[in-house]
Amino acid sequence: MSAPGSKPIAEVDVSPSCCGPSSDTAAGRPNLVLLGRSLKFLRPHWRLQLVALALTAVVTVMWVANPWIQKLLVDDLREGSSIRVLGWLVLALVGSSLVRVLLSAVQKFVFAGIRERVLLDLRSSLVDALLRKEILSMKKRNPGEVISVFLQDVETMGSLYGDTIVQLVTQSFLFVAVVILMVTLDRTLAVLTLGALMAFAISVKDITRPIQRVSRELQDALADASTAVGEYWKSMAETRLLGAEAFVHEMVSGALDLLRRARLRFAKVVSTVSLCDGMTWVIAGGLIWYGGQKVIAGQMTLGGLLAFWNYMGLSLAPINTFLMFGGTVRSSLGAAARVFELADAGEDEGRGDRGALDFPSRLHSISCRGVRFGYETDRTVLAELDLELRPGERLGLVGASGSGKSTLASLMTRLLENCGGEILLNGKPLRQYRLSSLRAGLGVVQQKPHIFTATVEENILLGRPWASPDEIVLAASRAHALEFIDELPEGMKTRIGEGLRQLSGGQEQRLAMARLFLKNPRMVILDESLSAVDCATADLIMDELYSYFSGRPVIVISHHPSMLKGVDRILALQDGSLRQITLGEAALLAGSRV
Ligand SMILES: Nc1ncnc2c1ncn2[C@@H]1O[C@H](COP(=O)(O)OP(=O)(O)OP(=O)(O)O)[C@@H](O)[C@H]1O
Ligand SMILES: [Mg+2]
């Protein structure tokens, strides 16, 4: 129970999403800068904010008017009072309460609307920012942490966009109005009550402080648990095949147990805080004891005491808001620091590029000169690598696992940057080409292509979104994918992907090849792209590919000598550099004969 008219002073906003670390600076940013950056997202919604502010002002007036009407009612109600006055007062009480309730509902909805719009803008801008980043820095991130930032931290920032700031303004008005009315009713009682409330509120503030720390721990535990559950789900087949159920059980239940402990710590702090609520009743008791004596002595009316008690209840909300404001804002800024840290992490792709060249319509040379690259400073993957690719040449690239073949392909597509030496297209460094044009000109098919949760048709269309249905079918037929697509329940319109109909590894690879045919790039890199397709079908697809991309350079990275039958030249990558070998040597290297 709490004093009437308001939420208790100790009823702080303790949802896990409302709190965060209490550091004055997060990730080294001054809070004001973070606040400014966070509030910029409110700017496009200023009209709605004005509506919310107006609604809050009206609701506040209604709140203040209510106890006064109650006072008039109680003081006027005695034997022989006017029925008409009673009617008007009841009408005013009921009417103002109904209007307040109705407007409060609208006000909450408007605040929720502002908050949700801003959070959507924030999340969308985060999606865009991360799509522009260099892939290497993104890969270092733990997926659970990224999900936690997207869902929980952005949610925590929501208190900056909901009613927190507007509340501060309106609660200030409410507080001033309530204090004036309390002083009008009884000056001594006002000073005593407000003094006691303030002293109590300041002591409660320290009790609520650990909430920020335990809620941060809870968020971290949630992120770890979501990573563990995600891993558990993805590794279903592998777990069974390896008989690793005990290991996985241990991993998931360990993370869930940490989550349980974090939740318990959180619940403990929250329940300690809720104990403080009882204190407001001690103050209310003192008020009634002192005020009651004044009523008995005829120095105060009963309605006046009732109104005073109500105003005391109303004053709890502003005091609560003032005390919690700093904590709530700090929590939101802690979350904002993590959101912006992710948005600013790593470098943007193609930063500092001045190149505006389009991918050449005719490629007459592709060369790597002294290319050096390592993921870590102390380990070189490619060392002084040289390569000359002639126009229309089909090049086979072999090498032991981990020798750097995919790394070379990623450097050519600029998924990886910062290599030593130079990679040149028609004699011009890759950096001089527009990144989007470079990626449009190159067609890369990887060993494990990503299949999106969409229809088969939509998946192929990613190759060229404006292609016609006939072109899609033709591309699928070139990739020998039509055979299995036609057998799907809804053919091209069948939805595939996570949690839906699953394709086999070879079918996924053929779908990726269909994307490539539809894209029709000027240069092709196949990175083990048919490794899961049977040899006969892979041969047919390669024949189709060579005839379709005739005159355009094709690099075939493969461990399978059969995939290298149609190439003009085979290079082996060893110790970071290339040397030419024959098909027979490639077969020997792969430990088999063609
Ligand atoms: N993101 C990364 N961070 C750090 N090291 C990496 C990363 N990606 C690859 N490596 C390392 O770089 C080396 C070359 O990897 P790469 O994937 O290019 O080999 P590969 O020749 O394509 O091997 P495979 O034939 O198995 O596909 C490996 O030792 C690998 O462990
Ligand atoms: Mg590879």
CA of 411 to the centre of ligand 2 (A): 13
Residue type, 235: S
What are the distances in angstroms from CA 83 to CA 6, 10, 65, 198, 303? Answer: 31, 42, 21, 41, 18
CA-proximal residue: ligand 1, atom 4 (nearest): 375
Residue nearest to atom 16 of ligand 1 (CA): 404
Nearest CA to ligand 1 atom 10: 375
Residue 381 CA to ligand 2 centre (angstroms)? 12
Residue 50's contacts (CB-CB under 8 Å, 6 or more residues apart) are none
- Can you tell me the distance from the alpha carbon of 170 to that of 158, in angstroms, rounded to the nearest whole number? 19
pLDDT of residue 8: 33
Q: Tell me what pLDDT residue 79 has.
A: 78
- Rounded CA-CA distance 450/462 in Å is 11
* Residue nearest atom 17 of ligand 1, based on CA coordinates: 406
396 CA from centroid of ligand 2 (Å):
14
Nearest CA to ligand 1 atom 18: 404
**Any idea which residue has 């619940």 for tokens?**
267
From residue 103, alpha-carbon distances to 106, 306, 378 in Å are 5, 25, 65
Give pTM, 2 decimals: 0.78
Q: Residues lining ligand 1, CB < 6 A?
A: 139, 375, 381, 399, 401-407
Residue-wise pLDDT for 92-148, tens only, equals: 999 999 999 999 899 889 988 999 999 999 999 999 999 989 888 888 888 888 888
> What is the chain's length?
594
Taking 50 as the pLDDT cut, the residues of the chain under it are 1-29, 593-594
User: Would you state the pLDDT for residue 154?
Assistant: 92
Out of 381, 397, 412, mutate this one to test ligand 1's pocket (max ligand atoms within 8 Å of CB): namely 381
Cβ–Cβ < 8 Å for 147, 342: no
Q: What is the largest CA-CA distance in the chain?
A: 117
The answer to whether the beta carbons of residues 364 and 426 sit under 8 Å apart is yes
Identify the pLDDT of residue 124: 94
Quote the pLDDT of residue 76.
Answer: 84
> What is each CA distance from 528 to 210, 388, 512, 531, in whole angstroms?
54, 21, 12, 5
Domain 366-590, architecture per CATH: 3-Layer(aba) Sandwich (3.40)
Radius of gyration of the chain (CA): 35
Domain topology for 29-344:
ABC transporter transmembrane region fold (1.20.1560)
Counting ligand 1 atoms within 8 A of each CB, the residue from 136, 397, 407, 571 with the most, and so the one to mutate, is 407
In angstroms, the CA 212 to CA 310 distance is 31
- Report residue 236 CA to chain centroid gap: 26
**Amino acid 129: pLDDT:** 92
Ligand 2 centroid to Cα of residue 445, in Å, is 11
> pLDDT tens digits, residue range 272-281?
766 666 777 7
pLDDT at position 12 is: 33
Write the pLDDT tens digit of every residue in 433-454. Answer: 988 899 999 999 998 999 898 9
Distance, CA of 1 to CA of 375 (rounded, Å): 61
Query: What is the predicted pLDDT for the residue at 19?
Result: 34
Q: Where are the domains of the chain?
A: 29-344, 366-590
Nearest CA to ligand 1 atom 11: 402
Ligand 1 binding pocket mutation candidate from 140, 398, 403, 412 (most atoms within 8 A of CB): 403
